Structure 1
Amino acid sequence: MTNQFDHLKLPRVYVQLPRKSGGGFGGYKRDDRSTHGQNLLSQIAAVTKSAKERKSSFRLDPKLIFKIKLVKESNLSDDDLAKSGLTMLAREPAANKAIVVFSSDAELKEFHNRMENYSGIKTDHKYDYLDAVEALTPLEPQDRLGRLLELEPLQPGEIAALDLELWHTGDRDEMRKYINQIRQDLQERSTSTATFALTDHHIGDYLCIARIKINQQLLDELLNEFIVKEVDRRPKAAFEKRIEYNLSLSDLPDIISPSTNCCGILIIDSGVQRGHSLLAPVIGDAEVFPDAKREFLKSGPDDEADHGTGVAGIAAYGNIEDCIRKKTFDPTVWIFSARIINENNEFDEELLLENQLEEAISYFVNQHPNCKVINLSLGNAEQIYQDGKKQLRLAAKLDELAYRYQHKNLVFIVAAGNSYVYSQRDDRELLRTDYPNYLLEPEARIIDPATSAIALTVGSLSLGRGSMTYPSDAQRNAIAKVPGYPSPFTRTGFGVDGMIKPDLVDFGGDFVLDGDRIAQDNDAAVSVVTFSQNYNSSLFKVASGTSFAAPRAAHLAAQLFNKYPEASSNMIRALITTSAKLPDEIPSLFQIGSGLTQKQKTEQREKQWAIYGYGQADLERAMYSTENYVVMWEDHLEIAVGDFDLFEIPALPPEFLQKKGKRHLSIALAFDPPTRHTRGDSYLGITMEFNLFKGVDRENVINARVDVEKAKKAGKEGSYSELSIEDLKKQFGSGCMVDDLLPGANLRKKSALQRGVVEISSQATNYDKSPLYLVVSCNRKWVKVEEIPSQRYALVVAISHSDPEVKLYNRLNVALKQANQLNQQARIRQ
């Protein structure tokens, strides 16, 4: 890319617009409150009686935890629950429409009193919000049985290492007592022939889990404990098969280590082979977590599973094939390695993966300030995300860590995972004949932790090459074949609450089908080249899998941190997303052809987003602007929850519309909100969205905000209307909002990373007459504003024309400087 320029600063209009508070919960009205209230009072009595009579075989305090089923059209707010003496523990997905609540009052006195008023027994208050309650029911053992245990029940005589999750009441000391009691009870029940134990535990702000070894009898008892949320089988690691790729590099020069201030990438995996001649100069630190006594990973940080070394090689150098072709390896990235997996690709059955992740990340980011990118090319293939379900556990842990380490500005990169539909030999031919239809099947959905909201999730693309091993063999063929087609093993979206996932795709390889079998040699032509763990026989190997697509994105993120060392993690994510594009060729199943109805076009686009996310990232587009591709950005922004921020985009030059070609305007928003995996109503505690306005007078927009701010400062709360997006549309005309940004606002705003793109026609109006105004809003879902009053974010706007002769950069640069001067004058007037 020629004529590379630095990105430009996006002008912010420094007046915030308070948002109209969201509508309250409820809305459903009952006509039979007396009868319904009497029924609920009977259910309250049954729930409290059950709690008193239930005897805990583990001697655990039987907390009053039960389920409130809600009317489909309604809801209950956290505030209303608190006033009723209840604490919300979890919201089930909308399909189930239920909440799990906890009461420290074993008699439910306040809730009982309000229900009596509601039903007419008392007449103090009516408490209309109780219309939303359909029924009160206890939690049953089946409610506490995890999905993996449902699929693979304990066998007679089996003592298994399982994951136990307890309902977190908000009191860490209390949760610690529960953990200690369970540990003690299991120790007391152990015998010389049956050893039971609690081997590890984790207590966070919202999560309390333990690793336990039990049999079926103890499992049955735990499933009847009030405080138990879920018991499930532990995660299993899922990796790819690979072979060595022999190539002599005897004429390569010595490798010089990166400078000390270069960005570092932490690879959490099976370790790295520190003796590898191309890796040794870039390894900053390597450790085992948290197996300090080397009882599980006895050989230390080195890679024995032949996975982490391959991931690390791509993270360090990016496209290794290019490096080999040019015979140059010039590293600009440090590699840190946290080994958590043994030589058999297994996690420690006595340790929680959540604790391993937390200890590893804590160690490296505190010991090595340049460690800013975290790559996880691992996943639990048994935990496939299903529509309408709540967040998966490892993904929730990553989001918790991302939020906790905001000040460190960490970018998390996660592989989407590999799917193996048609795994039976008799069905193998369908891998070719049914490609790519099966990628949209539920079995091919992303796995834990790829559903992480704040991490960048990366799916896989084919390199577009055929078999090289036996090129004349008619039955030996690659499946995807075309460059940029999705790999036949990649996993697809959407994610939690309908978030666009994966976020990105990159090259991860293809499968070669040899008759009725998948070629076990990972045919070199269709696979990704990376580093071999067995470096004494070969420095390189080939492999296929999303595991090797993810570190390409990690390498790109590290390069951006090298270019912009003060950038926030949100800005890096936004720049990467802005740079992403769909491949030039995509399967016809996902194309948007002519003659389709609007509904059919929407369905096709949703397929594209589910497969490709926002596309394949490009380092040069992320790092630099050019004459015909201009990026404007604003970083380290802070917005009050419930408010609007306003940004000004200069009017586009006439040449932009007059010159033939494709014109695009792209907006990317990245933020890192608090999350909670027990919330089925909204995994994100804060949501954000943006809307673009054109043909709007600048002074009118600013004056409207100034009037609002003056009214607020004067305390005239009742004398003005808080403007909303709808108010702006009414004020400036229905045609003022650019509503053809894709994806649409309803889909975009579900994610913590959003991009909207509009293709601008040559006949489009109001793009060249006056500035455009970008309104960014911040909405409360379940956070308490007094505890989390604001949200940080980053914003990127890119304007491009396909004709390289269109000179955008200098014209927009001048206009931006003028806009900044006007903004300063507006601030003075306030």
Structure 2
Amino acid sequence: MEAYPHLRIEREQPINQKRPGQPPRIKIPADVPAHARGLKQSLTRAIEEARKDLGGFDDRPLFKLKVGTLPPEQIEQGFPGIEVVSQEDGGYALAFADKRALDEFEARLSQLADGQTPKYANILYALEAFDHWRPEDRMGWALKRDGLPRKGEFVLDIELWPLARRDERDAMLASFGAWLSHEGVQALDRVSLGDYLAYRLRVTPKMGKYLLNHRDVRSVDLPPKLGLELGVLQLDIQDVHQAPPPGNAPVVAILDSGIAGGHPLIGPALGDAQGFVDPHREAHDAHGHGTLVAGIALYGDVEACALAKVFVPQLRILSGRVFDADNSANPRFMANIVDEAVRYFHDAYNCRVFNLSYGDCNKPFLGGRVGGLAYVLDCLARELDVLFVVPTGNFHDAPVQWLKQDYPHYLLKNEARLLDPAPALNVLTVGSLARWDRSANAWRHPNDIHTPVAQRDQPSPFTRCGSSVKGAVKPELVAYGGNFSIDPHTDSVTDRWLGELSTCKDFAEGRLLKSEIGTSFAAPHVAHAAARVLGEFPSASANLLRALLVANGRVPAATYDLLSGKEELLAQVVGYGMVDDSHLYRSTEEQVLLIAESALIDKHNHFYEVPIPESFYGGKKRRLREITVSLAYCPPVRTTRLDYKASRFQFRLVEATSLDEAAAAFDKATAEEVESIEELKCNKGTYGAQRRAYGTVQSSTWTIKQSRDAKLYVVVTRNDHGWGMALTETEEPYALVIRLADRENQEARLYTQIRAQLQARERARARV
């Protein structure tokens, strides 16, 4: 089957405008004077409670305002002296208020209580209550679960309010640092990266209680608890055919516990190994996790290579040791370590793909704000145009009865949610599928019944689930990572010989390969594929990498049958499916990928006419024909807004007789009107326009069953939040991938015919 480079597609004219959505309507209370009196009482109580706070770099009290759907910016506009620092779950906004603002609040509330209509009365109508940021509001998930230790010294992670103004932020950091010094608290590390301001502190129980009452503290939590849980195929290196990678091979960086650089299957492809963990900064892998991850990132399917006894790498590996030998909490913040490692490999080697198989078991995502490391990855991805691949994290706490009777539904429980940094929106998050369903005991004793929890190509019983912010599809992709098997006589659970085969750090003892389970070993399958795409498209943006990978995602039949009719479970456990790399790198006559990279102004649309040959529709024989569309972009983010991402893109696949007709439907359409524009009905197992639009990489597939008279257009729309104007570019970049497949047509000539259509369009544009 001859393969060809993917084709470029250019957008059509016009670029038409759309209207923003309507602002939320403010409902006037039924009894306005009573509403005003209630607000005055809650304001008085909140002021009294705020005075009990400790510290603060200035004397402004901190309030928790119940604002519902009211945009926080309107409060600042209506009441000078109010500084909204964050939106929180449940329709709350946190704000500092100076004396002038408080006096103005009281004066206008008095007017409202007397039956008058003060300035910005709509804000007072929308306000439901004044409240105070309490110690329980500051407690993170792990601290609520475990509580503060009662004696001795221990470590806490403290996040401060991410103030927008640089001078205030610097003043707060200086004030908080001075307060820590005065109290004799040891600061192990500090992060100041955009919206993420945090300290790692060694404290006493008394100081822990003080921090829960400190005005400038946003949250207090226990330090990370790593989810790096770590059978063997006999292989003699003398029987293996090896070759070094080509000189122009793309690079992929493994940020992990280091790599055993002397391993004979890794050494020839290892370009650089650095340690970023204090104090000694050793690069060697003393744990073994990083070496396992590296083997999969380098070779992809290590099992297939071992069976063929051929290991020829097509990539080069860079190793950044970011975990210590025990994979335990390090005095430094992971965010600082990762930031340093990424910048080093990007600057020194122009590395574009990073695998970070890490999950903080103390930071499950239960809605609301993403964790600090997720935020840092989102910012780095945008700043450096790099792709991060991370796992969902492992859930090993399911009781045997859940495994036996409630698989896979228990995966939707809160206990099994994504771990930080998996909720990050500008990265690819990878869940796990079972490759094997026969354990070591079952191989040795064929008559001994061991029941696999998952069948092949079904979700691993330990894979964690999404969604991410505002319901964004997470994980986007899945790959093989392992399985469990249960002995029905003893109810014992095993994973032996049910994991992924990869390179073992103990190679000197004769163990070249080792099998382990975990989403940590699913993620590098995707990192491997992403780096190989760079071999075909060296200048591809991270957006294009994500769009290509997701466009080639397929939900395996075994998973679809298991989750049939359960779209919510499908979206939160397997996302867009498993990467089918048969056409990821090159197109063929029966399957063609069209790629585009462009940039779009806010409140505008771009149009792409899908080039469809007559042969795609024609033919009497019924056959499967598909169109897949994927979109990826990389927005700026703010942890102080519930929407998190400052820009919003979405796409529609619509029918129209002409470009003018398609443009007329979208011309100056409001956000609500765009939502109502009908697109083709997409396949079961993929997601409609509204569901996929929450993420920054989006994809859907359509089956074409009959000839169509109308043309098909992909319409890309940008509709940003007002609060994001200062963060976004005038033209925000995006990548689009359109895949046409006619695999059951043995005489298909899609590539030749589509290329001819695109060339004809180019000639027509040149004449104009």
TM-score relative to the length of structure 1: 0.86
User: Residue 264 of structure 1: CA displacement?
Assistant: 1.4
Q: 2:11 matched to 1:12? A: yes
1:276 aligns with 2:263: yes
User: Is residue 2:441 matched to residue 1:442?
Assistant: no
- The Cα shift of 1:564 comes to 0.2
**Aligned pair partner of 2:628 in 634, 657, 666:** 666
- Matching residue of 1:630: 592
Aligned with residue 466 of structure 1, among 438, 454, 464: 438
1:347 counterpart residue number: 329
Structure 2: distance between partners of 1:341 and 1:688: 36
1:91 aligned onto 2:35:
no
1:151 equivalenced with 2:145 (yes/no)? yes
Q: Does 1:753 align with 2:697?
A: yes
Residue 558 (structure 1) aligned to one of 527, 531, 537: 531
Once the two structures are TM-superposed, the CA of residue 671 in structure 1 deviates from its matched residue by 0.5
Map of 2:63 onto structure 1:
66
Paired residues for 1:286-297 under 5 Å: 286-291=273-278, 293-294=279-280
- 1:305–1:343 contact (8 Å) kept in structure 2: yes
* Range with bigger deviation, 172-181 or 618-627: 172-181
State the secondary structure of the residue aligned to 2:85.
strand
Q: Deviation per CA, 1:545-589, whole angstroms, max 9, x where unpaired? A: 111111010000000011101111000100000111111323744
1:256-271 alignment runs, 5 A limit: 256-259=244-247, 261-271=248-258
Indicate how the Cα distance of structure 1 residues 397 and 217 shifts in structure 2: closer, same or farther if over 3 A, else same.
Answer: same
595, 601, 604: which one aligns with 1:643: 604
Distance 1:102 1:258 in 2: 58
Counterpart of 2:193, as a letter, is G
TM-superposed deviation, 1:804: 3.4
1:344 match: secondary structure: coil
Q: Identify which of 734, 738, 754 aligns with 1:793.
A: 734
| Aligned equivalents of 1:434, 1:703: Cα separation in 2 | 50
Tell me: CA distance 1:438–1:126, structure 2 relative to 1, closer, same or farther (3 Å): closer
Q: Is the 8 A contact 1:317 1:555 kept in 2?
A: yes
* SS of the residue 1:686 aligns to: coil
The 1:63/1:229 distance shift into structure 2, 3 A limit, reads: farther
Most deviating of 803-812 and 226-235 = 803-812
CA distance in 1, matches of 2:287, 2:209: 36
The answer to whether 1:35 aligns with 2:34 is yes
Could you tell me which amino acid in structure 2 is paired with residue 804 of structure 1?
Answer: N
Counterpart pick for 2:745 among 792, 804, 829 = 804
State whether structure 2 residue 740 is matched by structure 1 residue 814: no
Alignment counterpart, residue 200 of structure 1, candidates 189, 208, 211: 189
Instruction: After superposition, give the CA deviation of every residue in 1:14-51 in whole Å (9 maximum; x if it has no partner).
Output: 32111102211333222433332343344445544554
Moved more, 459-468 or 532-541: 459-468
The whole-number CA distance in structure 2 between the counterparts of 1:661 and 1:150 is 56
Which digits, 9 at most, give the CA deviation of each residue in 1:354-406, with x for residues without a partner?
Answer: 1111111111111111x1111111101232222x433233222211221222x
1:374 aligns with 2:354: yes
Structure-2 separation of matches of 1:729 and 1:392: 30
| Map 1:39-50 → 2, pairs under 5 A | 39-48=38-47, 50=49
- Matches of 1:168 and 1:442, distance apart in 2: 27
Aligned to 1:536: 508
Q: Deviations over 1:474-514 (max 9, x none)?
A: 55525246321111111122222111111111111212334
CA, structure 1 residues 470+619, in 2 after alignment: closer, same or farther (shift >3 Å)?
closer
Deviation, structure 1 residue 536: 0.3
Tell me, yes or no, if structure 1 residue 338 matches structure 2 residue 320. yes
**Displacement of 1:204:** 2.2
Kept in 2, the 8 Å contact 1:651–1:770? The answer is no
Distance 1:518 1:544, change over 3 A: farther
Deviation at residue 188 of structure 1 after TM alignment = 4.1
Residues 484 and 493 in structure 2, CA contact (< 8 A), matched pair in contact too = yes
**Residues 467, 476 of structure 1: 8 Å contact kept:** no
SS at match of 1:390: coil
Query: Partners in 1 of 2:573 and 2:239 — Cα distance?
Result: 41
CA–CA distance in structure 1, aligned partners of residues 411 and 183 of structure 2: 47
Contact 1:69 1:97 in 2 (8 A): yes
Counterpart in the other structure of 1:102: 96
Shift of 1:748: 1.0
Correspondence for 2:365: 385
Greater displacement, 547-556 / 262-271: 262-271
Matched, 1:397 2:376: yes
Shift of 1:63: 3.5
* Equivalent residue, structure 1, for 2:311: 329
Distance 1:456 1:151 in 2: 29
CA contact (8 A) 1:176 1:203 kept: no
What corresponds to 2:478 in structure 1? Answer: 505
Alignment root-mean-square deviation, CA: 2.7
Q: Secondary structure at the match of 2:568?
A: helix
Partner of 1:690: 651
C-alpha distance in 2, partners of 1:687/1:59? 36
Distance 1:790 1:634 in 2: 15
799-808 or 218-227, which moves further after superposition? 799-808
Question: Residue 793 and residue 587 in structure 1: after superposition, are their counterparts in 2 closer, same or farther (change >3 A)?
Answer: closer
Q: Conserved in 1, the CA contact under 8 Å of 2:53 and 2:213?
A: no
3-state DSSP of counterpart to 1:819: helix
- The match for 1:415 is 391
Secondary structure of residue in 2 paired with 1:818: helix
- The CA distance in 2 between the partners of 1:124 and 1:152, in whole Å, is 48
Is this contact kept in 2: 1:147–1:232, CA < 8 A? yes
SS in 2 for 1:148: helix
| Secondary structure of residue in 2 paired with 1:39 | helix
The more displaced of 279-288 and 436-445 is: 436-445
Overall identity of the aligned pairs, in %? 28
Question: Any idea what SS the aligned residue of 1:692 has?
Answer: strand
CA distance change for structure 1 residues 698 and 181 in 2, over 3 Å: closer, same or farther? closer
Residue 585 of structure 1: aligned partner: 558
* 3-state SS in 2 of match to 1:157: coil
Alpha-carbon contact 1:246-1:541 (below 8 Å) kept = no
Matches within 5 A, 1:226-241: 226-241=215-230
Aligned-pair CA distance for 1:129: 3.6
Amino acid at match of 1:37: A
Instruction: Kindly state the Cα deviation for residue 655 of structure 1 after the two structures are TM-superposed.
Output: 4.7
Q: Which range moved further: 504-513 or 748-757? A: 504-513
Aligned residues: 759
**Structure 1 652/435 Cα, relative in aligned 2: closer, same or farther at 3 Å?**
same
Determine if contact 1:656/1:801 at 8 Å carries over to the other structure: no
Provide the rounded CA distance (Å) in 2 between the counterparts of 1:110 and 1:544: 60
Deviation of 1:590 after TM superposition, in Å, equals 0.7
Q: Is 1:246 aligned to 2:249, yes or no?
A: no
Give me the TM-score of the superposition, normalised by structure 2: 0.92
Aligned amino acid, residue 688 of structure 1: F
Aligned to 1:594: none
Q: Distance in 1 between matches of 2:594 and 2:186?
A: 56
Corresponding residue of 1:313:
295
Q: Residue 151 of structure 1 aligns to which amino acid in structure 2?
A: R
What is the Cα deviation at residue 608 of structure 1? 1.9
- Displacement of 1:667 in angstroms is 0.8
Change (3 A) 1:783 1:182: closer
d(CA) in 1 for partners of 2:407, 2:447: 18
Cα deviation, residue 112, structure 1 = 4.9
1:811 shift after superposition: 2.0
Kindly indicate whether the alpha-carbon contact (under 8 Å) linking 1:118 and 1:128 is maintained by their aligned counterparts in 2. Answer: no
